[in-house]
Amino acid sequence: MTNWPNHDEAWREWRSAMAGARMHHGWILAGKKGLGKNDFASAAARELVVEEGIPQPSGDHPDIMSVTYGPKDKKAQSAQEAGKPFELARSIRIGQIRDMQRRLNVRPTLGSRRVVIINPADDMERATSNALLKSLEEPPVGTFFVLVTHRPARLLPTIRSRCRVLRFPVLDEGQMQRMLNDAGVHGNRQAAIGAAEGSFGAALEFAEQELEPVADHISRLLKEPDADMTGRGELSRLIGPRADRERLAAIFELAQSIVAKRARTSESSAERAALVETHAQLVTLAGQMPSYNFDTGLLTLEIGTLLCRAHVSSEQAHARS
């Protein structure tokens, strides 16, 4: 498991709560994607279910339940059962929460405690969130919920109010350099670090997906006009006509990071406003991507159009001032 130098404070709070008279039953692990929150959830859950004198398995633990993306449909479920590759659903569905709740009707297997990890909790459908809320309101004795979330604002306020929050800070440049070195990344680490903005997961994805040319082109589209759409066409080529879900998610994260960094460093209020609007539109489009069957080519062109629009809006604002 990765050694996460940004987890020290979270561990202090978690273990302090464990040592208290009554540990809270609901926890939200909040922070950017790629900060090791799921690793923390797994390790913290194991610490919580351990009881003196009860042997613990080294592999999967019967009293730690993980709820994450499941098979997309019955065909994908059959492939999963056969041990074959299968397509994942685009969200955590209510049926998964119902299955988890049925398992909570019986006592823990080994000791007196069990943990349910939901990752990512901010990708639950609304009906799924409402179903989970019932368990959070009246949790079975000895049951604890750990919700891993990259965007806590997307959780229902009623869920947030019933959970204690552990926040995970971003990593500094020195920490990122050491972690990338330990992970065997020896290429242009500086480009990966600059694009990731403190997220080791994003930096690793940047290196593995070879996103440096994409990052350079995104920056170009934010600065130069693209009247003949050749720049957008080139971006689509760099992303790839058959980019999978993981690559597209990495592209969205990268584009949002570059736009946000440019907005923070811009000395022009007009440009900052245009970039902030573009960032919001990218976030919206990224949120819609799992729910709609977008054509990859059209989706990548739309990303390019949003980037170009920031440049055009900024130029128009300058012209009016």
Question: Cβ(232)–Cβ(301) under 8 Å?
Answer: yes
Q: Are residues 35 and 126 in the same domain?
A: yes
What's the confidence (pLDDT) of residue 245?
Answer: 80
pTM exceeds 0.75 for this model: yes
Question: Residue 245: which of 98, 156, 123, 115 has the closest Cα?
Answer: 123
What is the model's pLDDT at position 243? 87
Give domain status of residue 182, yes or no: no
- The two beta strands, 164-167 and 26-30, are parallel
Are both 232 and 113 inside the same structural domain?
no
User: Which band of pLDDT confidence, cut at 50, 70 and 90, is reported for residue 312?
Assistant: low
Considering 167, 195, 223, which residue would you say is the last residue of a domain?
Answer: 167
Residue 314: predicted pLDDT: 58
User: Is 139 in the same domain as 260?
Assistant: no
Decide if 186 is inside a domain.
no
Domain boundary among 101, 136, 167: 167
**Mean of pLDDT over the chain:** 90
pLDDT tens string 120-171 = 999 998 999 999 999 999 999 999 999 999 999 999 999 999 999 999 999 9
Six-digit token string for 149: 């979330």
pLDDT tens string 68-126: 998 888 888 888 888 888 778 878 999 999 999 999 999 999 999 999 999 999 999 89
Tell me: do 295 and 150 sit in the same domain. Answer: no
Encoding tokens for residue 105?
A: 């009707």
Crossing angle of the two packed helices 245-265 and 269-288, in degrees rounded to 10:
160
What is the per-residue pLDDT across 281-303, written as a single tens digit (0 to 9) for each?
Answer: 998 888 777 665 668 888 888 99
Averaged over 230-252, what is the pLDDT? Answer: 90
**What gap in Å lies between CA 255 and CA 283, rounded to an integer?**
10
Residue where a domain stops, chosen among 139, 167, 195 = 167
Q: The domain containing residue 217 runs over which residues? A: 209-320
